[in-house]
Amino acid sequence: MKIKTGDTVMVITGNHEKDVGEKGKVLSVDPKEGRIVVQGRRMVIRHTKPRKQGAPSGRIEREGSIDVSNVMLVCPRCNKPTRVGFTFTDGKDGKQKKVRICKKCHKNID
C-alpha cells in the first residue's frame, strides 16, 4: 500500500463533503479492505451500551474508515498533495531498498 500509518493525507473526494480538502494524520491502515482511518475526518456516531462497569455509554463520536482511493498523500518536503512513486536506493549493507518518492518534487518520503 502506498499510504502508511503516521502519514499526513488530504481527503480529495467522498460522501462527507465537509471533509474534502482537509488534512489529517493516518491512524490505521487496512490493506486487505483498502481502507484507512484519518484523525478527525469522517466522524461517525456509535450508540453503545456500557459493557463493563465504568465503560462509556451513549452516543460516542469517533473516526470512520475512508477508502484509500479518496485520499492523497501530502509530501512532507513540498507540503503538497501528491501521487506516490517507488524507487530503489542502496542500503547500508549494499542491498537495494525500495523507498517511496513524491511525484512532484522527486524527494524521498520515507
User: Are 11 and 24 within 8 A, CB to CB?
Assistant: yes
- Domain ranges (residues) in the chain: 8-74, 82-110
Vertex 69: Cα angle to 82 and 6 (nearest 5): 65
Q: Please identify, in words, the CATH class of the domain defined by 8-74.
A: mainly beta
Per-residue pLDDT of the chain (110 residues; tens, 9 = 90+): 899 999 999 999 887 778 888 999 999 999 999 999 999 998 999 998 888 888 878 998 999 999 999 999 999 999 999 999 999 988 788 888 899 999 999 999 87
The residues pairing with 66 across neighbouring beta strands, listed in sequence order, are 36
pTM: 0.82
